[in-house]
Amino acid sequence: MEGDVAKANRKCSAVTGSARKLKDNAADWHNLMLRWEKLNDEGVVVAGNIVSAGGGRSREEAEGSSRDLVVRNSGLQEECEKLKDIVDKMAAIVAKMERLMASQRGLVDLEEFRFGPRGRSVPLFHSWNAQDFASSCAVLLQSFASELRLKRVLLREAAHGADPDLSLVYLSCWLHQPLVPVRARLALEAVLLETGQRHLPV
């Protein structure tokens, strides 16, 4: 997957202007999603350790013993700190996605300034204009920003689930990322196909 994008970048290095910027942004979206998935996989392991180490206690019990947590269960505290670090890194990824989205919107404004509200008559790549790219990337940003909010809730609740079953629900939510739907991943694939960084199998 990563190799396909790098190979296509070498082949299309002559692209300039708005098309070049959109192509670079598409590669950045791809790389950020790869980093997110890696962090999500790490988070599943850490969240599983938390559930095993002490999730499932009642909130009252957990809050009442918070001062003694390191003494009584330093493993749980350490895993919670690891999960917080992962969520912080995910937040940094979403912040970069927000900057990419701002760049996409800037390109839409530039294209409208240069060519009018209907945009240029010739597509930037195969068939899309700058607004089409912005619309697809907006789906990506919305999905990952929503998933980050969920991750923060899961981080807060991880060690304080009311019962073991609820802790397993939290773990399942982390694994399956319900707020990153299939359409978000398809949106990225569409962006990569449109910019020539992904090719349909022959």
How buried is residue 53: exposed, middle or buried, by Cβ count under 10 Å (0-12/13-18/19+)?
A: middle
Residue pLDDT, tens place only, 150-184: 999 999 887 676 577 888 888 999 999 999 999 99
CA 47 to chain centre: 18
Q: Is residue 89 pLDDT above 90, yes or no?
A: yes
Residue 73: which pLDDT band, with cuts at 50, 70 and 90? low
Residue pLDDT, tens place only, 105-161: 999 999 889 888 877 878 888 889 899 999 999 999 999 999 999 999 999 887 676
* Residue 57 CB coordination number (10 Å): 20
Amino acid at the residue 167? S
CA distance 83 to 79: 6
Strand (E) positions, the chain? none
**Mutual angle of helices 182-194 and 130-157, in 10-degree steps:** 150
Q: Is the dihedral of CA 182, 172, 145, 96 positive or negative?
A: negative
The pTM for the full model equals 0.81
What are the residue boundaries of the structural domains of the chain, listed by start?
A: 2-9+18-194
How buried is residue 138: exposed, middle or buried, by Cβ count under 10 Å (0-12/13-18/19+)?
A: middle
CB 191, CB 26: distance < 8 Å: yes
CA distance 97 to 117: 26
Question: Can you say whether residue 124 is alpha, beta or left, with left for phi > 0 and alpha for psi between -120 and 50 degrees?
Answer: alpha
CB 187, CB 140: distance < 8 Å: yes
CA distance 146 to 157: 17
